Amino acid sequence: MRLTAVPRGKILLAAAAAAATALLTTGPVAADPLAAGTTTPTDRQQQYAAAAAEYGVPESVLLAVSYLESRWDTHPGQPSTSGGYGPMHLTDAAQVASTPSSTHVDEDEDPRGDESRPLAVDPAVAAEPSGDTLPQASLQTLDAAAALTGVPEETLRTDAAANIRGGAALLASYQRTLDAPVGAGSDAAAWYGAVARYSGADTEDAAAAFANEVYDQIRLGASRTTDDGQRVTLAALTLTPDESVLHRLGLRRVERPDGLECPVRLACEWIPAPYAKYGPGAGDYGNHDLGDRPAQQKIEYIVIHDTEGYFGPSVNLVKRADYLGWHYTLRSVDGYIAQHVKAKDVGWHAGNWYVNAKSIGLEHEGFAGHGTWYTEAMYRTSAKLVRHLALRFQIPLDRQHIIGHDNVPGTVASTVRGMHWDPGPYWDWSHYFDLLKAPFHSTGTPQTGLVTIDPDYASNQPAFYGCNQQPPGVPKPTPPAAPCPLRGSSSVILRTAPSADAPLVNDKALRPDGTPDTMYISDHGARASAGQTYALAGIEGDWTAIWYLGQKAWFHNPASAPTAKWAQGSAVTPKPGKATIPVYGRAYPEQAAYPSTIPYQTISPLQYTFAAGQRYALGGIQPGEYYRAVSFDGSAPGDRTVVRGANQYVQIQFGHRVMFANLDDVLIRPAAVGAPQ
């Protein structure tokens, strides 16, 4: 999803200054620097140990807090989606205020995705959100860390060792304001309050949820190699934290109403999206539709979005009746969740009515193409929420059902070009599915005929361009002057031949003239994403070909550093005698299924074709369904009913988006090479 965040620099900086002043007047003076002649360790593990010793913080606490912020990655000089820097996620309100805005709703876009009741939202509405982007406590920890350590802010942004020292200094200052023990030998269990405050949360339950995750990590332990090649280990430690100090932080307490659809341990607040009229017409209402799911219609998908803006403004938008409604918004700095729409009801978030009617939409604070990174705290709470919903509604934990907004197809040929591309190539799908407890495994060999994309996120760094330079939107034909920062990505790049010099493949919906797609950040017509499974089309040396948008698409997949895993399962191919078959962006019933009270919804193919000899991975079989909802009070003929027909569809990973083919047009066979077709 896209959102315009209005710069509010003066407001943010004033709040930041107040927060920093409050910290400095209640915390300690800056600690003495390291002894003269002492050099900063070059080993990352030693850097954590040195910072912990210098400021009297238990090393396990420092490591675990850093892990929950960044998994110890440095992201050198690049801010998170909430303006945080480095492995300790030191935040900077000035960065938040200066982040370029994006467009939430494009001109002529229909976010509801139903031509029987098209929704035209004035794009100017997206320029009106207001409210703090971050809770005040987390606005300016970078300034506070600089004051406590005497290290310049720019150094704290870019130097990992300095950043770790800054985080340790903040934790120690928070501990002292609670009159709690600091120093060598202090008990890690006694640091719960300082850890909770470090979250930046403005509510008690959110601070507690963050601290609980940190202490869970201490008990579990961790070991990984960071984005700059440093091996760091947190040894598992059995302890029970002292949670009694939490109330002394003076944070807001949020009531948790009955019926809130979040796991109990997660911080979650009910901030309802209005189901209300805003005009005289029967269709002048927003910003979602009432439903009775799953009793009336099965929920098949959970759609992962990013807001293209900040938490506060996004929540202010979802509270407008004349705007869009989605089910949840997640905050970056601490993983806090706001629920807006009940799962039984239909949100307007995916731009495809068929998908909207059968999905739950989660918006994550952040940007798809600004070069920012998503925090571990938000990944954690999102994964726990999605796993909770998936188990409740029996949604498979795979990339055919847990999809990005960028995987949602256009409804008809004319809408494909304008579909959104969030959460973007920097969303770490492999790590996300690890957190969902559904990791991507190799289940086959080259002979089993399917491949699941899964590059090493940290080392896979495609050379995109266009970040931060203009709002995401329709792909641009020529590159802006500056490239995006090289950083980890879930995307692999697809070419027309097994060579790094070969042109990218063409997405005819984006470029009807047949020209190759580009590396522009939002131009994802020549990419496959981690977890997506495709039918094998060939192997040549270090290159693997898949069937993709009606063509062979090659990606680099060397045995020494594979970017995909072999898989097994079923593939779909046209029935004998059919040279080509159509593919669709929605699975609607045949005309005969509609009662006289409900207008027929045309089954309109997309501009792509599925040719004989090609194969695509089967993602499931879906019934032909259409949910009718066009009036506020349900008074329109046939309103709030589901039309079901005899049509059935196969869902396939046809390109970067899922699509559908009529079951009557295809054969489903084992994908194994040499299997009977």
pLDDT > 90 fraction of the chain, expressed in percent and rounded: 77
**Tokens for 306?**
């990013």
| Residue 4, pLDDT score | 38
Same domain (yes/no): 295, 413: yes
| Residue 30, pLDDT score | 45
| Residue 475, pLDDT score | 54
Specify if 665 maps to a domain.
yes
8 A C-beta contact, residue 598 and residue 86? no
| Residue 19, pLDDT score | 38
Which DSSP state fits 647? E
Which DSSP state fits 367? -
Based on C-alpha coordinates, what's the Rg of the chain?
A: 25
Same domain (yes/no): 64, 192: yes
CA distance 676 to 265: 50
Q: What is the DSSP string of 460-471?
A: -----B-TTTS-
Top pLDDT among 342 and 14 is at 342
Same domain (yes/no): 169, 296: no
Same domain (yes/no): 245, 264: no
CA distance 628 to 642: 6
| Residue 609, pLDDT score | 93
| Residue 95, pLDDT score | 67
CA distance 587 to 411: 10
Supply the CATH number for residue 193's domain.
1.10.530
Q: What is the mean pLDDT of residues 583-587?
A: 98
Same domain (yes/no): 184, 258: no
Same domain (yes/no): 305, 199: no
| Residue 104, pLDDT score | 58
Please state the φ and ψ torsions of residue 177, each to the nearest 5 degrees: -65, -20
The total domain count for the chain is: 3
Going by pLDDT thresholds of 50, 70 and 90, the confidence category of residue 140 is confident
Same domain (yes/no): 227, 349: no
8 A C-beta contact, residue 147 and residue 385? no
Top pLDDT among 204 and 128 is at 204
Same domain (yes/no): 186, 54: yes
| Residue 184, pLDDT score | 80
Question: How does 504-533 read in b/e, with b if 16+ C-beta sit within 10 Å?
Answer: bbbbbbbbeeeeebbbbbbbbbbbbbbbbb
Top pLDDT among 160 and 418 is at 160
Same domain (yes/no): 195, 291: no
Specify if 2 maps to a domain.
no
Helix (H), strand (E) at residue 364: strand 359-364
Specify if 502 maps to a domain.
no
Specify if 112 maps to a domain.
no
Specify if 33 maps to a domain.
no
Same domain (yes/no): 241, 322: no
Task: Quote the domain boundaries for residue 653.
Answer: 572-670
Supply the CATH number for residue 335's domain.
3.40.80.10
Given 395, 417, 439, the domain boundary residue is 439
Closest CA to 139 of 364, 315, 311: 311
- Work out whether strand 402-404 and strand 301-306 pair parallel, antiparallel, or are unpaired: parallel
pLDDT digits over 590-625, tens only?
Answer: 999 999 999 999 999 999 999 999 999 999 999 999
Specify if 662 maps to a domain.
yes
Q: Which amino acid is located at 295 in the chain?
A: A
Specify if 177 maps to a domain.
yes
Same domain (yes/no): 281, 395: yes
Given 439, 470, 492, the domain boundary residue is 439
8 A C-beta contact, residue 629 and residue 640? yes
Specify if 54 maps to a domain.
yes
pLDDT digits over 257-289, tens only?
Answer: 889 999 999 999 999 999 999 999 889 999 999
Going by pLDDT thresholds of 50, 70 and 90, the confidence category of residue 40 is confident
Which pTM value belongs to this model? 0.93
The answer on pLDDT for 502 being more than 80 is: yes
pLDDT digits over 621-671, tens only?
Answer: 999 999 999 999 999 999 999 999 999 999 999 999 999 999 999 999 999
Given 410, 439, 468, the domain boundary residue is 439
pLDDT digits over 168-201, tens only?
Answer: 999 999 999 999 999 988 999 999 999 999 999 9
Same domain (yes/no): 268, 294: yes
Going by pLDDT thresholds of 50, 70 and 90, the confidence category of residue 553 is very high
